[in-house]
Structure 1
Amino acid sequence: MNTDEQAAMTKAANIVRYVRSFDAQNVDHAAIVALFLHEAAGSIFGRFEARMTAADQRALFGKFVGKGVICIDGKAETVSMRVKVCFGLDYDYRGTTPFRALAVH
């Protein structure tokens, strides 16, 4: 991981901490995901892939997506989980959720 990626991950972690301070009753998760993606990938149309803790996923998405690598695609406006298949030789995207379907509390 180069220094630019480390800086992006630090900014993304700061957004997760900021989101946790919100009142859980008034959160628009699609907007939070767009803000997170802008900080982590440099654009709301970018792509971000990394492992996330369950608490971070619940803060960002309003639900637990999965234990694999979490993939946020701003261009397709989806959140999904990448898992290894075929004895680790390939991967598959599962649990794809559009931004508009994320919970609005």
Structure 2
Amino acid sequence: MTQNEGEPLVAPSSTDHPLYGDIVEACRTVYDPEIPVNIFDLGLIYRISIDDESNVEIDMTLTAPGCPVAGEMPGWVAEAVEPLPGVKTVNVQLVWEPPWGMDKLSEEARLELGFI
């Protein structure tokens, strides 16, 4: 795989990777403190990549750049994923492109927030 400037070194994993479902569920245990919905269903997780040695890279964003927990939330995600059996390392990167919007909400999040 070639790398263009600003692109991650690890390609996104397919959703059928054995660890993918557990990582998603771990991300669902992390909540934005201002919104009563987990960060996965909020659409804040943009990429989960798992290499052949079970090193995990996650790109995530926040609902707003000025989010008061911007410095803490990537650590919360790493702390949720690191203890999973089979995970070797976890690197969580905060990204701002594309910007988060309400269109990223899952159907479950829309229902929880009363948009459906």
TM > 0.5 fold call: no
Where is the helix percentage greater, Structure 1 or Structure 2?
1
Where is the strand percentage greater, Structure 1 or Structure 2?
1
TM bucket normalised to smaller: 0.3 to 0.5
Q: Which has the larger radius of gyration?
A: 2
Give the structure-2-normalised TM-score.
0.30
